[in-house]
Chains A and B, each alone.
Chain A
Amino acid sequence: MSPARILCFAFVLASVSLATPALAKDLTIALASEPTSIDPHFHNLGPNNAFATHIFDRLVKTDEKQSLIHGLAVSWKPLDDTTWEFKLRKDVKFHDGSPFTADDVIFTFERAPNVPNSPSSYATYIKGKTVQKFDDHTVHIKTKRPYPLMPNDMSTFPIVSKKSGAGAKTEDFNSGKAAIGTGPYKFVEYVPGDRIVITRNDDYWGDKAKWDKVTFKPIKSGPSRVAALLAGDVDVIESVPTTDIERLKNEPKVQLSQGISNRVIYLHLDHDRDASPFVKAKDGSNIKNPLKDPRVRLAISKAINRDAIVERVMEDVAIKAGQLLPEGFFGVSPKLAPLEHDPNAAKKLLTDAGLANGFSITIHGPNDRYINDAKIAEAVAQMLTRIGIKTAVETMPRSVYFKRASRGGPDKTPEFSFILVGWGAGSGEASSPLKSLIHTYDKSRGFGASNRGRYSNAEIDKLIEDALATVDDAKRQKLLAKATEMAIADVAIIPLHYQVNTWAAKKGLKYKARTDERTVAMGVTE
């Protein structure tokens, strides 16, 4: 073979090997909202938590139904009322090759609640807990009072490496210098607003990642996201706009996946003030707040045609709700079904309450937070007007809405009388909405932080507090279900529906829908 031939041969070989990366499996995912940081402890926010699962692991992981599964901990159990033991996985290596030990867990407990400038800190899950190293692969976590939600809390914040995380700032994670975890993917590149790139971690301890390289692209505009999928620019999109779902179902290039979420859309009513600012008699004069009468609250609930909202407003991308969380979640009550639409019974209840002539009220809601939020508020208003409660609608951007709804009134009390809100149970069980929405507002003990109706019922409070101190799962489940039943019977809130989330992937790919609304590369299968 002449040298020229060899050269030529080598060249052909080289070009063949250059061409083969076509076999490499790359994936591009379009996100509706992008993570605000690569630092897994900077901002306790949906997109950040979703993205962090690629690079980092948690002690406890959650599956697509938010059930707890083993993560970096292989087992956990309460040793006594106030101590939990977590056995750590052995032979796990960080992306830089250093081994994972109890020291990394201890370091994470120090770092996560203390990230400077954090707009929403992970201290929520870490405060009140002290962690001790028992041996290299065992930690003990102590609390002052019995704390059954320990495994749930351990599923919320990722474990970072002590070696690369010590002294690292949020910027160091964003640049990739400190973005070293134990997760199924490794960090490659982060260009804010443009893309985040990750690549497979071949040394992962669990199921190896399916994709060689994954690129996340933030595409905020719904129609553009759909167009990018149809044009083949991206392989998977999240948050498909409800108006496009019907069309995409008939599109041969696209595969949809839908799943119920942990988010309930509900109405909160003013249980507190004797004269509520947005409730008036029909002639505009002041009246005693009728929402304090459980019959009136029940009338409102019965006047709402949940089927119509699900069918017409939500275009069938929702499931009507009868409690705080859909069935299948821990602590929900098996007895509660969505209330049937019954306008005549509603009218009768109003008459019984001495309000045969009805009254007038304003419903306030956001217009850019939940799927079709403003339209739902309008539908509710029409339904209530039909039974004699003259309802005006006022919606506003969430940047304005939530402040006013939470503390826009005098003395930082809630401003509105009747509001539309949603609640996603981050912990994946019923204590989350019960604690924040139903329990009496109690600043010193951290209860009722989102109880914007200021509902208060000592009996239910006790059930919730008992549940939060009961480590026995079966007993706790019963307490939570009981509290939910009582709250619904008293119409503490009026549940409307559970949001259903929709993902779309190009033909041949499938996304495993998650109740926590996360979009992760691990959920994309062929």
Chain B
Amino acid sequence: MTAFVIRRLLQSAVVVFVMSLIVFFGVNVVGDPVDMLINPEADQEDIERAIRALGLDRPIGEQYFYFVKGALSGDFGRSFIFGEPALKLVLQRMPATFELAFTALVMAIVFGIPLGLYAGLRPNALSSKTIMAGSILGFSLPTFWVGLMLIMVFAVMLGWLPATGRGEVATFLGISSSLFTLDGLSHIILPAFNLALLKISLVIRLTRAGTREAIYQDYIKFARAKGLSENRIIFVHLLKNILIPVVTVLGLEFGNLVAFSVVTETIFAWPGMGKLLIDSIQQLDRPVIVAYLIVIVLLFVLINLIVDVLYSVLDPRVRIGESQT
């Protein structure tokens, strides 16, 4: 296990390095931040002053050298727009995005697995067909449209939930989150559901497919022959076996939820990292884009690691295989 983790970490270091190279040179090809930042009233002298202040007058290779030098000591440079350290800005927004992604993930599990299981066990029932049709809708409707519709129905027409923003934040066990206040919960329901919709559909389909496949396998038949109760067969034998692909996918999808909640965060004005990223891209705030992407790469690496560890908990064969190598 230790060797496996160390190997993984070394691979990740290479990935992060290559990524930094691609991202840094990539964002430097597009446009010129000075045009986005400078006041139109500024004259040529002011423009040059701004170029110097941002360090953009230096050759790109030199800029990269300083970037790597700083990054190795945890300094990703200062945001052009906010003048604050880029990493600080990204980390500041991280809790908001995490709680949104976490809530969406919980929704995906809580709605997706039971519905998928139900549809898998009774494939021909009308209710199952409705669930499956619904999941297709969940896949195909564009996120921004669903988001606006949710706002229109639940905030504007019914007035049950707030339209945008993050609610009050409270601290519990050292963690600050809006999940600990009623106001916060009421704010998070709509954006989290919007973000979760696609994942719910995904989990439904995965669970259903797994169930359909596993139900005819010998161990289930044997369990039945042994006279085990239906509940035990479904919730212990069947569920445990079909959960592996679901856990893999959810693990990766959690990364996606965190990294690409851009649309949902923009529509619901959720002060998270996704909104920061899209703003930074539009305004060419290069240090923030780079810092964000590197944080996300690290995050994916970490999630994959956790998923691999979870496998070995769910499937003893993985454990045995590892100990033999």
Chain A contacts to B: CB under 8 angstroms: 36-37, 39, 42-45, 116-121, 123-124, 127, 170-171, 174, 191-195, 217-221, 223-224, 227-228, 230-233, 368, 397-403, 406, 423-424, 426-427, 432, 436, 443, 446-447, 449-450
Greatest chain B CB density within 10 A among A127, A193, A436, A447 is at A193
Give the distance in Å from the alpha carbon of A221 to the alpha carbon of B82 in the complex: 21
CB pair A45–B39 under 8 Å, yes or no, is yes
Q: Is the CB of A118 within 8 A of B53?
A: yes
With a cutoff of 8 Å between Cβ atoms, the chain A residues found around residue B46 in the complex are 120-121, 123-124
By the criterion CB–CB under 8 Å, are B283 and A399 in contact? yes
A217 vs B41: C-alpha distance when bound (angstroms) = 27
* Docked complex Cα distance between A192 and B82 (Å): 9
Contact between A403 and B42, CB atoms less than 8 A apart: no
Contact of B50 among A119, A217, A232 (CB under 8 A): A119
Does B305 make an interface contact (CB < 8 A)? no
CB < 8 Å neighbour of B41 from A117, A191, A220, A432: A432
- Asked if A120 and B276 make an inter-chain contact with CB atoms under 8 angstroms apart, the answer reads no
Q: Would A227 and B148 be within 8 Å (CB), given that A43-B37, A119-B53, A436-B41 are in contact?
A: yes
User: Inside 8 A of A171's CB, which chain B residues have their CB?
Assistant: 84
- Whether B283 pairs with A43 at a CB distance below 8 angstroms is no
A231–B162 contact, CB under 8 A? Answer: yes
Complex interface bits, B261-301 against A, C-beta within 8 A gives 1, otherwise 0: 00000111101100110010111100000000000000000
Indicate if the CB atoms of A427 and B41 lie closer than 8 Å: yes
Set A233, A403, A432: member contacting B31, Cβ < 8 A: A403
Residues of B within 8 A of A400 (CB): 30-31
Q: Are A233 and B155 in contact (CB under 8 A)?
A: yes
CB distance from A196 to the nearest CB of B (A): 12
Question: Total A-B residue pairs with C-beta atoms closer than 8 Å?
Answer: 168
Top 3 nearest A-B pairs by Cβ distance?
A446-B43, A193-B271, A119-B37
B239-266, CB < 8 A from A:
266
CB proximity of B245 to chain A, nearest CB, Å: 35
B92 contact set on A, CB distance < 8 A: 192
Measured CB to CB, the closest approach of chain A to B60, in angstroms, equals 15
* Cβ-defined contact, B164 with A220, below 8 A: no
Docked CA distance A11–B82 (Å): 47
Q: Does B179 contact A (CB under 8 A)?
A: no
- B101-117 toward A: CB 8 Å interface, digit per residue (1/0)? 00000000000000000
Q: Are A120 and B93 in contact (CB under 8 A)?
A: no
Q: Are A426 and B40 in contact (CB under 8 A)?
A: yes
Is there an interface contact between B37 and A117, defined as CB atoms closer than 8 Å?
Answer: no
Instruction: List residues of chain A with CB within 8 A of the CB of B45.
Output: 127, 446
Q: 29 A-B pairs, CB-CB below 8 angstroms?
A: A36-B83, A37-B82, A43-B83, A45-B37, A117-B53, A119-B33, A119-B54, A119-B80, A119-B81, A120-B38, A120-B50, A171-B84, A174-B84, A192-B93, A193-B275, A217-B164, A220-B266, A220-B279, A221-B269, A223-B267, A224-B148, A224-B164, A231-B162, A231-B163, A232-B159, A401-B31, A403-B31, A424-B40, A443-B44
Max count, chain B CB within 10 A of own CB: residue among A43, A118, A127, A227: A227
Tell me, yes or no, whether B315 is within 8 Å of chain A by CB.
no
* A374: min CB distance to chain B, Å: 15
Report B-chain residues with C-beta under 8 Å of the C-beta of A368.
Answer: 282
A100 shortest CB reach to chain B, Å: 26
Let me know if B165 is at the binding interface, CB within 8 A.
yes
- Interface check B16, CB cutoff 8 A: no
Interface residues on B, range: 35 or more
Q: A36-B82, A119-B80 are in contact. Are A403 and B32 (CB under 8 A)?
A: yes
Quick one: given A221-B267, A423-B40, A436-B41, are A194 and B166 in contact (CB under 8 Å)?
A: yes
Q: Report the minimum CB–CB distance from B95 to chain A (whole Å).
A: 11
* B49: interface (CB < 8 Å): yes
Query: Do B164 and A219 have beta carbons less than 8 Å apart?
Result: yes
Contact B41 A123 (CB under 8 A): no
Contact in complex: B269, A119 (CB < 8 Å): no
Task: Say if the beta carbon of B151 comes within 8 Å of chain A.
Answer: yes
Cα A43 to Cα B31 in complex, Å, equals 20
Contact B39 A233 (CB under 8 A): no
Of the candidates B81, B83, B152, which one forms a contact with A227 in the assembled complex, judged by CB atoms under 8 Å apart?
B152
Cβ contact within 8 Å between B39 and A426: yes
B282 touches A120 (CB 8 A): no
> Taking CB as reference atom, which chain B residue is nearest A170?
B83
CB distance B43 to A447 under 8 Å? yes
Let me know if A220 and B38 touch, CB within 8 A: no
Chain B residues with Cβ below 8 Å from A432 are: 41
The smallest C-beta distance from B51 to any residue of chain A, in angstroms, reads 10
A397 CB contacts on chain B under 8 angstroms: 31, 282
Closest to B85 in A: A171
With both chains docked as a complex, state the minimum distance between the C-beta of A416 and any C-beta of chain B, in angstroms: 14
Q: Is the CB of B35 closer than 8 A to any CB of chain A?
A: yes
Distance to closest chain A CB from B186 (angstroms): 11
What residues of chain A lie closer than 8 Å to B50, measured between beta carbons?
118-121
| Contact B269 A399, beta carbon cutoff 8 Å | no
Inter-chain contact A121/B53, CB cutoff 8 Å: yes
Contact of B35 (CB < 8 Å), options: A36, A223, A231, A402: A402
Q: Does B189 contact A (CB under 8 A)?
A: no
Contacting residues, chain B, for A219 (C-beta < 8 A): 164-165, 269
Kindly provide the distance from the CB of B157 to the nearest chain A CB, expressed in whole angstroms. Answer: 9
Checking B35, B96, B148, B152 against A406 with a beta-carbon cut-off of 8 angstroms, the contacting residue is B35
A193–B40 CB distance below 8 A: no
> Once bound together, how far apart are the Cα atoms of A426 and B43, in whole Å?
13
CB within 8 Å for A44 and B78 given contacts A120-B50, A227-B155: no
Given contacts A227-B148, A227-B155, contact A120 B37 (CB under 8 A): yes
Q: Which residues of A contact B152 (CB under 8 A)?
A: 227
Residues A231 and B271 in contact, CB atoms below 8 Å apart: no
